[in-house]
Amino acid sequence: MLPHLVFRNVHLCTMVDGIATLSHGAVVCLGEEIVWVGAENDLPAFDHAEEIDCGGRLLTPGLIDCHTHLVYDGNRAAEFEMRLAGATYGEIASAGGGILSSVAATEAEIALQENAEAELACAICETGEDAARMRADTPNHRAEEKRFRRLIDQGITTVEVKSGYGVRAETEAFLLNRAKAMTQQLPLDVYRTYLAAHVMPQDAGMSRAEWVQHLVDDDVDRVCAAAGFDAIDMFCEGIAFQPDELIPLLQKAQDLGVDIRIHADQLSDLGGAQLAADWHAASADHLEYTSDAGAQAMAAAGTVAVILPGAYYFIREQQKPPVDAFRRYGVPMAVATDHNPGTSPLNSLLLATNMAATLFGLTVEECLLGVTINAARALRRDERIGTIEIGKRADLAIWDVGTPAELVYNIGGNPLWLRVWRGRID
């Protein structure tokens, strides 16, 4: 018989009513589910219970990072130096940098891994060594796992992970399967997004519209069969793909019944937010140049605005997302790291909340809603995660702080005391 896990003597922040807290609260879990929430004085007796005295610490839902690019190889530190010296995005791309440089590094590493697979097969036959253990013991695998573990160590229980640095179907499927492998190795739920229209390969030999049609006719089905995914994403921007070019891919996603996510309005207003709303996308992300009409359309469609302060900070953007318009129209706002090697090498969701508050003026409540229930909405998993309620999954974070504001206030700190994932204590 599974024991009831009773977390008592907590400062309880369920996120059901924002950051309203209950002193001397308690939460009870059975297996993977929350079965009781309330004041400790009202706590009923449970047979076969294991009690954890939390010493008056703050208890919140497990955090959710709803926009990352955690699966890639190499880094772009050299571009960072170029940018500090005054180089523009275009100049960096002309010098071989940008997204395609990460694509090249990732493809090169995949080729090395594929060659190593053949060598491993021979070695395993000869030595009897465990294949999974040998395969995991590589520098690139360890670096990637560290990125995931840093998030786990900060109370994250669910993370969205995009492909996009493989470009072609085989390499994109490889990356999505690498993300899936992390769910088998680590106590973490991974929502996988196929970033299909990220960038065109240099040797594509076709127009952008033709490339999108190639994705629809060929690559999407091949990636779906080889790896599977929860959502399809696309980069709607002048340096990437125009809204009308993306229509066939949007229709394909809708036909497959997967979520739609759009990188929208980061560098210019091409109507990306409106496009996301028109197709009832789960989220539109970045949004620095989104118009008032775009914000209103997102509200009507129920599309979540994912705020990404890491990229804004790192590439020194000047245009802030229209937070006031999102508030005025009631657009849910999520906050995420956007961890990626080129424009947001940020591996701290707590720091992202501080940046969202400091740079964009989000309130503490908006920041914490942004990494719990609104992040869950951006992944369309809010029926199971994002708040502490009876029947929801037992994903919890217990913090060595007294108030929710301290989670956003601290810069570079990590006050996590205990993390609970699917009812299991780390």
| Secondary structure of 384-395 as H, E, C letters | CCCCCCCCCECC
pTM of structure = 0.93
139-143, 172-176, 333-337: range with lowest mean pLDDT: 139-143
Residue 120: the pLDDT is 40
pLDDT at residue 116 is higher than 70: no
φ and ψ at residue 265, rounded to 5 degrees: 55, 35
Q: Domains for the chain: give ranges and CATH numbers.
A: 4-62+386-425 (2.30.40.10), 65-378 (3.20.20.140)
Percent of the chain with pLDDT over 70: 93
Q: What is the pLDDT of residues 339-393, one digit of tens each?
A: 999 999 999 999 999 999 999 999 999 999 999 999 999 999 999 999 999 999 9
Q: Compute the average pLDDT of residues 22-37.
A: 97
Assign 121 a pLDDT band (cuts: 50, 70, 90): very low
220-229 burial code (b ≥16 CB/10 A, e <16): beebbeebeb
Question: What count of other Cβ atoms lies within 10 Å of the Cβ of residue 20?
Answer: 12
Residue 226 CA, distance from chain mean position: 22
- Burial group, residue 403, by CB count within 10 angstroms (0-12, 13-18, 19+): middle
Reported for 78-82, long-range contacts at CB under 8 A and 24+ positions apart, including other chains, are 79/342
φ and ψ at residue 260, rounded to 5 degrees: -110, 135
Strands, sheet with 259-264, edge to edge from the N-terminal-most edge strand: 63-65, 156-162, 189-197, 231-236, 259-264, 283-286, 304-307, 333-335
Dist CA 261 CA 69 (whole Å): 14
407, 61 contact by CB (below 8 A): no
298, 273 contact by CB (below 8 A): yes
240, 199 contact by CB (below 8 A): yes
Q: What is the pLDDT of residues 394-425, one digit of tens each?
A: 999 999 999 999 999 999 899 999 999 999 99
Dist CA 80 CA 316 (whole Å): 12
Residue 112: the pLDDT is 67
Q: Return the DSSP state at 340.
A: B
Q: Compute the average pLDDT of residues 15-21.
A: 96
Dist CA 342 CA 347 (whole Å): 13
* Mean pLDDT across the chain: 92
Residue 359: the pLDDT is 98
- Burial group, residue 119, by CB count within 10 angstroms (0-12, 13-18, 19+): exposed
Question: Which of left, alpha, beta for 391 (phi over 0: left; psi -120 to 50: alpha)?
Answer: left
Q: Kindly state the tokens that stand for 241.
A: 């793909």
